[in-house]
Amino acid sequence: MIYPISKVRLDFPTLTKKINDNKLIYFDSAASSLKPNYVIDHEMNYYKYEYSAVHRGIHTMSREATDKVEQVRRKIANFINAKQTEEIIFTKGTTEGINLVAYSWGRTFLCPGDNIVITEMEHHANIIPWQMLAKEKKIFIKYIPLLPNGTLDLSKLPLLIDHNTRLFAITAASNVLGTINPIQDIINQVKNISNTLVLVDGAQYIMHQKVDVQLLNCDFYVFSGHKIYGPTGIGILYGKKYLLDIMPPWETGGSMIKDVSLIKETTFNYVPWKFEAGSPNTAGIIGLGAAIDYIQNIGLKNIISYEKLLTKYAFDILNNIPNIKIYGPKYNRISLISFNLGNHHAYDIGSLLDTYGIAIRTGHQCALPIMNYFKVSSMCRISLAMYNDYFEIDKLVDILVKINKILIN
């Protein structure tokens, strides 16, 4: 099948925007992807014609809105192959999903002397919650180190996992280096060593690769809707039901209760609603469901194949620019590339590209341990998505060559 890039680009209205009379080239999808009309229309239709509180009323509008929310829950369960629909928890995003596990499971089941293993390539969202938990619960954090090629030194894994390791938290793909970690092999290895639980940060992986949580045998999997062409403010925590059943709520209020009394002890709702206190982001949930539909209509396999070719092309052509330093492996990466151009600051490169209408990410990418490892303060990052094309990559390279000459002179 020939990938329908022209049709896909027409589906994303933001791509018609001009900056300084230049047609927008959006290379910042790893930070947040653009939204297709299909998603925008579904959210707008809810606000216009279907708006009502969910799980709150017996009237038609409330029941219909509630049905839509629960249909999306089933859709997400199918999309990542969860065993049960109840294993899908709606959150604000990846960050909240990780914090939910840290504060609910971690505070309940961790004891002084236990340890958690993470890696040196994690996003801050998969570092700081565990650091705070370690201080509170008097546990230890151990780290799998990076290698110069941007992969993890997995030979250290058997040395780090021990009988006191309660959780292993790892990103499926680095938001800086693009590295795709061999998650299934890693999880198998961890499970063979101990009964350690595994949490996978899928924020960067979910839009680029197929996810099967049963095949992975992970205990928790988190991702954000806005990374996968859906709205902001909505995300998913997948957890094995037996774990969710024994975890206490971390946020309290409406919807998450079965009974409240001023005399007797409050009893909590069943999973998943036990973890969804208050009014949910109904429009965001509906938008996320629409994003899943949109992806499946194009075909995830088609998107993966196209992005793989596009990324290889971008890597090869960028690598020909004088003074460029590309970080991370050449192969087995998702469609993002971080680089620096000579000794020029990433902010300077990003600002100059912006004058030509090219949007990239610059800075420490919320991954300061990676910056420290490579002894840089910041990097430039381009991230490609289903709507980018070869012309845009050629334009980027032309402008980078021009910028390089300007800054040298």
**Model pLDDT, residue 33:** 98
Provide the domain limits for residue 163.
40-296
Catalytic site positions: 366
* Model confidence pLDDT, tens digit, residues 145-187: 999 999 999 999 999 999 999 999 999 999 999 999 999 999 9
**Model pLDDT, residue 93:** 98
* Model confidence pLDDT, tens digit, residues 32-76: 999 999 999 999 999 999 999 998 778 999 999 999 999 999 999
CATH number of residue 325's parent domain: 3.90.1150.10
The reply to whether 20 and 157 lie within a common domain is no
The reply to whether 134 and 261 lie within a common domain is yes
**Model pLDDT, residue 409:** 65
Identify whether 35 is part of a domain.
Answer: no
CATH number of residue 98's parent domain: 3.40.640.10
Three state DSSP letters for the chain: CCCCHHHHHHCCHHHHCEECCEECEECECCCCCCCCHHHHHHHHHHHHHHCCCCCCCCCHHHHHHHHHHHHHHHHHHHHCCCCCHHHEEEECCHHHHHHHHHHHHHHHHCCCCCEEEEECCCCHHHCHHHHHHHHHHCCEEEEECECCCCCECHHHHHHHCCCCEEEEEEECECCCCCEECCHHHHHHHHHHHCCCEEEEECCCCCCCCCCCHHHHCCCEEEEEHHHHCCCCCCEEEEECHHHHHHCCCCCCCCCCEEECCCCCCCEECCCCHHHCCCCCCHHHHHHHHHHHHHHHHHCHHHHHHHHHHHHHHHHHHHCCCCCEEEECCCCCECCEEEEEECCCCHHHHHHHHHHCCEECEEECCCCHHHHHHCCCCCEEEEECCCCCCHHHHHHHHHHHHHHHHHHHC
**Model pLDDT, residue 406:** 85
Mean pLDDT for all residues in the chain: 95
The reply to whether 9 and 84 lie within a common domain is no
